[in-house]
């Protein structure tokens, strides 16, 4: 059995360049805090424990993230990355290994970390490094004539020839816990920044005859950190592009992969098509052959096979059957359930409403707290008056009813099977099945009436 792995996530830093009240690691990327992405990568390794080192922002961090299974170690004051890791050591199993991650490096892949954890479990010190065209600001990886890593030198402490090194420390490393504990105890802060550098453990390891093994990310974006809102936006686009690529590889047509935002989980069947500028939030499931036209926002929804969502729809907390047609400009609110072949047209709002097979609500309607049967036709401008100012009431419309245009259904009220309501009806009592019900003032024509004419003033 592999020795227990503890993942230590450093997240105590201030993030000054964000110019924000919100702690940096709580800024969202794809709708989830940066720290949430790092936690997800850590979770994927199945570690014995995760410990987050926090400081700036204080208790907002553990409260917002809400992970009681995570150990939270307060670092106050912040005296450097070595000092930060020391705060986590009481939570570390000394028989195992420690993987250090940064809370502001959100796109790190679990596959990359897996390789490092394996090396550390065999007793090695594994360091994640990358070659950058512009290495300024980063710690440089110093190697000897044989190419072995001998130490890391921080940018601010580096000599001119060291500044020319393009291989840099990503900050991510994995090593046996007992050795780490010993080296941390020996750290000093005699350097340009007066900090306890975690990076100094590398030279200490080498002095004890350890070999440092370097690993590399599959792509540079994996190890990029967020220090500013511009960098945050850059990584957001990168992440969205990665998700778009994965969807296309799985058989989804994206009209423009640069104009898709998935802030959560989007699961698609075969041959779905998504047009430009759509946003998916929470968990969205599309069946086979679903089309989502441009400018739709879809959250926590299931959409059945063959359904077409036309442009500019807002769908939240809805379940839609197969072969339905939605929109353009439809709003489906939580509790909406549409059966197969339902048609919901423009400027129609549904809330907590169940609509049966092949029923149609095509224009300008509000249907809330309602049960609508099969093959019902609801005319333009129909409104369920579900709220009496204090309580909500249900409207029931049975199968094959026909609701004339501009009708108000004052709930609680039931329209019987096959009933017809005349246009303009205000229904306050149940309408019996198979009959015409209407409430309407009698039409009247006034004989001999004349339009008034405009008076002309005398000059």
Question: Do the beta carbons of residue 261 and residue 32 sit within 8 Å?
Answer: no
Q: How many CB atoms lie within 10 A of CB 15?
A: 22
For residue 262, give both structure tokens.
Answer: 């998935």
Site for ligand UD1 in 38-57 (CB under 6 A): 53
Binding ligand UD1 (rule: CB under 6 A), the pick from 23, 80, 304, 345 is: 80
Residue 102 and residue 29: Cα distance in Å, rounded?
Answer: 15
φ, ψ of residue 430 in degrees (nearest 5): -60, 145
**Residue 19 beta carbon to ligand UD1: minimum distance, rounded to whole angstroms:** 16
User: If binding is defined by CB under 6 A, does position 103 make contact with ligand UD1?
Assistant: yes
Other beta carbons less than 10 A from residue 1's beta carbon = 4
The answer to whether 377 touches 407, Cβ cutoff 8 Å, is no
Q: Give the shortest CB-113-to-ligand UD1 separation in angstroms.
A: 16
Span 120-149, contacts to ligand UD1 by CB under 6 A: 138-139
| Distance in Å, CB of 81 to ligand UD1, minimum | 3
Q: Which segment (29-37, 78-86, 309-317, 352-360) binds ligand UD1 by CB under 6 A?
A: 78-86
| Shortest reach from residue 47's CB to ligand UD1, in Å | 19
Number of residues that bind ligand UD1 (CB under 6 A): 27
Nearer to ligand UD1, 215 or 262 (CB): 215
Q: What is the dihedral of CA 246, 249, 252, 253, to 10 degrees?
A: 110
Site for ligand UD1 in 222-251 (CB under 6 A): 225
Binds ligand UD1 by CB under 6 A, chosen from 83, 179, 295, 360: 83
Catalytic residue among 91, 155, 216, 363: 363
Query: Which of 19, 39, 21 minimizes the C-alpha distance to 29?
Result: 39
Cβ–Cβ < 8 Å for 53, 73: yes
For 61-211, where are the E strands, in sequence order?
A: 71-74, 97-102, 125-131, 140-143, 149-153, 167-176
Q: Which stretch binds ligand UD1 (CB under 6 A): 99-107, 175-183, 256-264, 440-448?
A: 99-107
Site string for ligand UD1, 186-225 (x = CB under 6 A): -----------xxx-------------------------x
Closest distance between ligand UD1 and the C-beta of residue 141, in Å? 9
Q: Could you tell me which stretch among 10-18, 119-127, 293-301, 381-389 binds ligand UD1 (CB under 6 A)?
A: 10-18
Tokens of 385: 């008056």
CB atoms within 10 A of CB 399: 16
For the record, the structure tokens of 214 come out as 């370097």
User: Is position 155 annotated as part of the catalytic site?
Assistant: no
Beta pairing, strands 314-316 & 330-332: parallel
In 211-346, which ranges are continuous DSSP H helix? 229-249
| From candidates 23, 36, 57, 81, binder to ligand UD1 by CB under 6 A | 81
What letter does residue 18 receive in the DSSP assignment? G
Q: Which of 73, 79, 322, 415 binds ligand UD1 (CB under 6 A)?
A: 79
If residue 353 lies in a helix (H) or strand (E), which one and from where to where? strand 343-355
Residues near ligand UD1 (CB under 6 A) are 10-13, 53, 75, 78-81, 83-84, 102-104, 138-139, 152, 154, 168-171, 197-199, 225
Active site residues: 363
């Amino acid at each position: 059995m592999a020795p227990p792995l503890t993942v230590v996530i450093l997240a105590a830093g201030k993030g000054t360049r964000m110019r924000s009240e919100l702690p940096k690691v709580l800024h969202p990327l794809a709708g989830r805090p940066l720290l949430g992405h790092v936690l997800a990568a850590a979770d994927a390794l199945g570690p014995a424990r995760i410990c987050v080192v926090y400081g700036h922002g204080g208790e907002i961090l553990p409260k917002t993230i809400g992970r009681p299974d995570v150990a939270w170690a307060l670092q106050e004051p912040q005296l450097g990355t070595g000092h930060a890791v020391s705060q986590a050591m009481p939570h570390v199993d000394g028989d195992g290994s420690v993987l250090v991650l940064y809370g502001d490096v959100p796109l790190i892949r679990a596959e990359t970390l897996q390789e490092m954890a394996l090396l550390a479990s065999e007793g090695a010190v594994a360091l994640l490094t990358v070659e950058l065209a512009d290495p300024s600001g980063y710690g440089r990886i110093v190697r000897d004539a044989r190419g072995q890593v001998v130490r890391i030198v921080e940018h601010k402490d580096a000599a001119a020839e060291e500044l020319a090194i393009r291989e840099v420390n990503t900050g991510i490393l994995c090593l046996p816990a007992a050795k780490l504990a010993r080296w941390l105890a020996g750290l000093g802060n005699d350097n340009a920044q007066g900090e306890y550098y975690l990076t100094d453990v590398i030279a200490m390891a080498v002095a004890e005859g350890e070999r440092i093994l370097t690993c590399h990310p599959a792509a540079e974006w994996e190890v990029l950190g967020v220090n500013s809102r511009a960098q945050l936006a850059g990584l957001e686009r990168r992440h969205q592009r990665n998700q778009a690529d994965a969807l296309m590889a799985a058989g989804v047509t994206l009209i423009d992969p640069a104009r898709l935002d998935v802030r959560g989980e989007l699961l698609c069947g075969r041959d779905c098509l998504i047009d430009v500028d759509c946003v998916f939030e929470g968990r969205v499931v599309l069946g086979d052959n679903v089309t989502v036209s441009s400018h739709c926002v879809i959250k926590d929804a299931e959409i059945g096979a063959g359904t077409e969502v036309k442009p500019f729809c807002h769908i939240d907390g809805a379940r839609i059957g197969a072969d339905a047609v939605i929109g353009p400009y439809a709003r489906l609110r939580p509790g909406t359930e549409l059966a197969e072949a339902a048609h919901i047209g423009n400027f129609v709002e549904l809330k907590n409403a169940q609509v049966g097979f092949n029923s149609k609500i095509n224009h300008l309607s509000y249907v809330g707290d309602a049960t609508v049967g099969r093959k019902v036709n609801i005319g333009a401008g129909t409104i369920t008056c579900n709220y009496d100012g204090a309580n909500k009431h249900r409207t029931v419309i049975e199968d094959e009813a026909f609701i004339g245009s501009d009708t108000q259904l004052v709930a609680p009220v039931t329209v019987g099977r096959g009933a017809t309501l005349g246009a303009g009806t205000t229904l306050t009592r149940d309408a019996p099945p198979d009959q015409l019900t209407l409430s309407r003032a009698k039409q009247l024509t006034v004989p001999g009436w004349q339009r008034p004419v405009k008076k002309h003033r005398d000059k």
